[in-house]
Amino acid sequence: MATAGQDNYFLPRHKDESNRLNFQHKFLVDICGGSTIHESIPKDNLTAIADVATGTGVWIQDVKSILTARDPEKARKYYAFDISDAQFPDPAAQDGIVFALHDGRQPFPEEFHNQFDLVHVRLLVSGLKTPEYKQVVDNLVPLLKPGGYLQWEDLSMESFINYEGAQEFADHPCMDTMKLICEVQINAGAPANVPQTIYEAAKSNSDLTDVVLNVYNTKDHPDKTEIVRQWILKTFDSLLSSILLRTGMVATEEECKKEREKRKEHLLDSYQKGYVPHGSLGMVLGRKVQK
Ligand X SMILES: C[S@@+](CC[C@H](N)C(=O)[O-])C[C@H]1O[C@@H](n2cnc3c(N)ncnc32)[C@H](O)[C@@H]1O
Q: d(Cα 117, Cα 111) in Å, to the nearest integer?
A: 15
Least Cβ distance, residue 171 to ligand X (angstroms): 30
Residue 54, CA atoms < 13 Å, CB-side half-sphere? 31
Spatial strand order in the sheet of 48-52: 97-101, 77-82, 48-52, 116-122, 144-156, 280-288, 208-217
Least Cβ distance, residue 167 to ligand X (angstroms): 28
Q: Of all helices (H) and strands (E), which one includes residue 144?
A: strand 144-156
Q: d(Cα 291, Cα 286) in Å, to the nearest integer?
A: 15
Least Cβ distance, residue 53 to ligand X (angstroms): 3
User: Of 105 and 275, which has the nearer Cβ to ligand X?
Assistant: 105
Least Cβ distance, residue 23 to ligand X (angstroms): 10
- β-strand pairing of 144-156 with 208-217: unpaired
Contact between 89 and 57 under an 8 Å Cβ cutoff? The reply is yes
User: Of 20 and 278, which has the nearer Cβ to ligand X?
Assistant: 20
H helix intervals, the chain: 15-31, 58-70, 130-140, 157-162, 173-187, 194-203, 225-246, 253-272
Residues at the contact surface with ligand X, assessed by CB under 6 A: 7, 9, 11, 21, 25, 53-55, 58-59, 82-84, 87, 103-105, 122-124, 127
Q: d(Cα 46, Cα 49) in Å, to the nearest integer?
A: 7
Q: Which residue is nearest to ligand X (CB)?
A: 55
Least Cβ distance, residue 273 to ligand X (angstroms): 29
Contact between 250 and 244 under an 8 Å Cβ cutoff? The reply is yes
User: Of 59 and 112, which has the nearer Cβ to ligand X?
Assistant: 59
User: Of 122 and 287, which has the nearer Cβ to ligand X?
Assistant: 122
Distances in Å between the Cα of 188 and the Cα atoms of 126, 127, 158, 209, 282 are 10, 10, 15, 31, 22
Least Cβ distance, residue 43 to ligand X (angstroms): 20
Q: d(Cα 267, Cα 236) in Å, to the nearest integer?
A: 9
Least Cβ distance, residue 236 to ligand X (angstroms): 14
User: Of 49 and 175, which has the nearer Cβ to ligand X?
Assistant: 49
User: Of 22 and 169, which has the nearer Cβ to ligand X?
Assistant: 22
User: Of 132 and 175, which has the nearer Cβ to ligand X?
Assistant: 132
